[in-house]
Amino acid sequence: MIHAFPCGTPALDFVGTLRARRNDEPTEKLASVADLDAWCVESGLLDGAPASDAGDLRHAVELREAIYALVRARLLDRPLPAEAVGTVNRYAAHPPLTPVLTEAGWSRVGSAAQVLSQLAREAVEIVGGDAAALLRECGRPECTQVYLDHSRGRRREWCSMATCGSRMKAAAYRARRRAGVDA
């Protein structure tokens, strides 16, 4: 797997394909059409690569940034940016993925454009619904993953305990050890 899915929802995991946004050089995880195809499969939205093209990749990045702008506005309790609202609504208006029943169960079929529609629809539901109150950004300064905090007490601090959480706890432990040695 080349992509990470710590956020618990495809739309927010999709936003996380641009890692460490505040760094001088963020890490782009959708650098190629192959990366987009891999994300579509690894996310579980499609069983097979949608054979994306360069236009699909441009659209994916455009949608990702619009979703992030909306999420960021909610996190900062600011009005939703009109351009981002228009972009997300435009993608949400396209046909979504098609569920199909097979002998093995069910799956979804569709194109990259349909994947983007599915993500836009999910973003509309998150940003425009009650889930917006659960939006959080990872507490690790180098990370900018956003997620829905479904934890008891709504005190989740990190996008994932396996990555950012363990790094932050290890850093805090080392700092306490150094403080103890210095004392």
Predicted structure pTM score: 0.84
What is the chain's mean pLDDT, rounded? 87
**Is 98 in a helix, a strand, or coil?**
strand
d(CA 52, CA 132): 31
For residues 26 and 143, the model is more confident at 26
Task: For residue 69, count other CB atoms closer than 10 A to its CB.
Answer: 19
Which whole number is the average pLDDT over 80-98? 97
**Phi, psi angle pair for 147, to nearest 5°:** -155, 170
**What are the boundaries of each domain within the chain?**
10-135
Is the per-residue pLDDT at 150 higher than 70? no
Fold topology of 10-135:
Jann2411-like fold (1.10.3300)
Which whole number is the average pLDDT over 138-143? 72
**DSSP string covering 27-86, please?**
EES--SHHHHHHHHHHTTS-SS-----HHHHHHHHHHHHHHHHHHHHHHTT-PPPHHHHH
Is the per-residue pLDDT at 168 higher than 70? no
pLDDT at 161: 52
